[in-house]
């Protein structure tokens, strides 16, 4: 049989271990503080709850990527976080889970998902409420570029970028980062989704360098799947909540 080899399917334990290694890499590169022991127990509790309560029409988010988003949030403990391009709330659920879901491991203050698709935002809101997230976690219909409209809710400890504009696709990441960088808290972490996807190679060329140009003191690319994540840290105490 010809064609590309199919990678082996990892067990749950193997996926947990691989996520641990990627978080260790983030610590070694200076983008995250150490993650606590036993964090995957909380992840699996949240995973069971989300699978039982939320509806996601379609997603390219792999189990490994979900773990990384959850683990990044557990390590950084963002009291205030924003997801730009939240769609139905899938990525928002994972990064907000540690601070806003039932059995949260720290008290979050504000988690906001922004999207211009009103129907998707309504679904994201239903998903957050169905899963029992705290009232501080919300999805709103708003432009991801309108960072100034959310100044009063910040400064932001974590920002996740996943905008996808018709026609422009991921080319807006650089400009979105420019808008939100002035509103980041000391030690803030910015996560960019899709940085390794072949379809967006031209759109996201130079993103890591641009992040450094906007003030990031450390950044690293995680090849979690075909999409990938870029994790960047701004100056300040990386392990302290804002």
Q: How many CA atoms lie within 13 A of 29 on its CB side?
A: 20
CA 46 from centre of chain: 16
- Sequence-ordered list of residues with C-beta below 8 angstroms from that of 172, at least 6 positions apart, any chain: 144, 145, 163, 165
Residue 199 has pLDDT above 50, yes or no: yes
CA quadruple 215, 175, 65, 202: dihedral, nearest 10: -110
User: So what's the pLDDT on residue 63?
Assistant: 93
Using CA atoms of 118, 119, 120, 125 in order, give the dihedral in degrees to the nearest 10.
90
Phi, psi of 209 (to 5 degrees): -65, -35
**pLDDT given for residue 1 in this prediction:** 32
Among 156, 152, 128, which Cα is nearest to 140's? 128
What is the CATH T-level fold of the domain 12-233, as seen in this structure? Rossmann fold (3.40.50)
pLDDT of 148 strictly over 60 = yes
* Mean pLDDT of the region 27-51: 95
* Every domain of the chain and the residues it spans: 12-233
- Rounded to an integer, what distance in angstroms lies between the CA atom of residue 195 and that of residue 208? 9
The residue ranges of DSSP E strands in 28-97, in sequence order, are 80-84
Q: Average per-residue pLDDT in the chain?
A: 92
pLDDT band at 209 (very low <50, low <70, confident <90, very high): very high
- Rounded Cα gap, residues 89 and 56, in angstroms: 8
Whole-prediction pTM? 0.92
Q: Which residue has the tokens 């390794």?
A: 196
Percent of the chain at pLDDT above 70? 94
pLDDT at 239 over 50: no
Rounded distance, CA 83 to CA 98, Å?
A: 15
Q: Which of 7-11, 170-174, 189-193, 194-198 has the lowest mean pLDDT?
A: 7-11
CA dihedral over 29, 225, 101, 44, signed as positive or negative: negative
Q: What is the pLDDT of residue 166?
A: 80
196 preceded by a cis bond (ω within 30 of 0): no
Cis bond leading into 155, ω under 30°?
yes
Q: In this predicted structure, what is the pLDDT of residue 70?
A: 98
**Is residue 2 pLDDT above 60, yes or no?**
no
């Amino acid at each position: 049989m010809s064609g590309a080899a199919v990678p082996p399917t990892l067990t749950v334990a193997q996926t947990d271990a691989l996520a641990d290694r990627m978080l260790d890499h983030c610590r070694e590169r200076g983008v995250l503080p150490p993650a606590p022991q036993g964090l995957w127990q909380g992840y699996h509790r949240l995973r069971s709850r989300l699978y039982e309560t939320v509806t996601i029409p379609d997603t390219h988010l792999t189990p490994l990527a979900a773990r990384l988003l959850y683990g990044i949030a557990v390590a950084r403990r963002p009291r205030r976080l924003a997801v730009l391009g939240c769609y139905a709330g899938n990525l928002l659920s994972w990064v907000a889970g540690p601070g806003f879901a039932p059995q949260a491991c720290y008290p979050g203050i504000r988690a906001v998902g922004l999207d211009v698709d009103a129907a998707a935002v309504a679904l994201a809101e239903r998903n957050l409420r169905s899963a029992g997230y705290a009232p501080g976690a919300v999805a709103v219909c708003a432009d991801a570029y309108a960072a100034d409209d959310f100044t009063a809710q910040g400064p932001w400890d974590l920002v996740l970028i996943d905008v996808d504009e018709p026609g422009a696709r991921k080319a807006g990441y650089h400009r979105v980062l420019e808008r939100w960088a002035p509103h980041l808290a000391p030690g803030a972490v910015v996560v960019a989704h899709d940085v390794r996807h072949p379809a967006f190679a031209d759109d996201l060329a130079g993103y890591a360098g641009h992040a450094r140009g906007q003030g990031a003191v450390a950044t690293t690319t995680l090849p979690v799947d075909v999409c990938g994540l870029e994790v960047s840290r701004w100056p300040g105490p990386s392990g302290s909540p804002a």
